[in-house]
Amino acid sequence: MQLTLFAILYSAFVWWFSTGVIFYLNKRPASTFRWSMLGGTVVMIAAFYGLWISARQETVIAAYTAFTCGLIIWGWHTMTYYMGIITGPRREACPPDCRPHERFFYAFATGLYHELAIVVTVALMAWLTWGQPNQFGLWTFLLLWGMHVSAKLNVFLGIRNLNVEFIPDRLEYLTSYFQQKPMNLLFPLSVTAGTILTMLLIQQAMLPGMEASITIGFVLLATLSALAVIEHWFMMLPIPAEALWRWSLRPSKEPEQTTRSELTRSQV
């Protein structure tokens, strides 16, 4: 029981703290990005090595290592996106008179290179862990990717809480693709799928006769999946999600060309 409780707390803390660190670094002036990316890339390379080593081990420490490495690798991709380093071919606001299908392809183009980089990373992680007993690092990354895609689609289709304070000034054009609505048709499917996945992961963790490393690995994933469902509810419920990371949301000192309120207002 103590091992399970620690795994839940560890997964929640690492998710919360790493997210806050990324928000903080991405809110800094562009002059700091070179050093942030240098440090982040060194840590990401170490995470790939840790993923490769831990994939061959079936211990509790290896489960934690693989999970953490998956989070770190995902964090590197998040940094490159929100720092505007790996985004997409389109870096312009959505035209106000475009048709729905055009708006979708414009929005997709804003993050095309980012998504392609993720696909390449998944292939590399699968190659490094192929046929090995510890797949929790790869599964962690895939779970985070699924959360990311679901959240982006819901924001595109319309959510109640836009949370534009999480978007750095340099990417304010992204807010022109957001919509504010009380509900969209995808949201119930997203939270239902996330809840089912969480329950299945919990069920796997509770199977009798499982090795401790396997149980801990599934607890880590189940906690992360549950957090993803909660994060989705933050989009719709009157809950100030920014309160969780207020310590990291310091404003950038970069000059603004277009105010966020103006971009958001065009879509509300």
Cα gap 49→133, rounded to integer Å: 16
Q: Would the pTM of this model clear 0.75, i.e. be above it?
A: yes
Residues 58 and 211: beta-carbon distance below 8 Å: yes
Report the number of distinct structural domains present in the chain.
1
Give me the sign of the Cα torsion angle 116, 117, 120, 121: negative
Of 227, 202, 218, the residue nearest 64 (C-alpha): 218
The pLDDT tens digits for 164-213 are 888 888 899 999 999 999 999 999 999 999 999 999 999 999 999 889 99
Cα gap 4→203, rounded to integer Å: 13
Residue 233, helix vs strand vs coil: helix
Give me the sign of the Cα torsion angle 184, 189, 193, 195: positive
Tokens (6 digits) for 192? 């239902």
Tokens (6 digits) for 225? 């999946």
What pLDDT score does 169 carry?
Answer: 84
Cα gap 93→234, rounded to integer Å: 25
Q: What residue numbers bound the domain in which 57 lies?
A: 2-265
The pLDDT tens digits for 233-268 are 999 988 877 778 877 876 544 444 444 444 443 343
Mean pLDDT of the chain: 90
Cα gap 7→67, rounded to integer Å: 11
Residues 110 and 85: beta-carbon distance below 8 Å: no
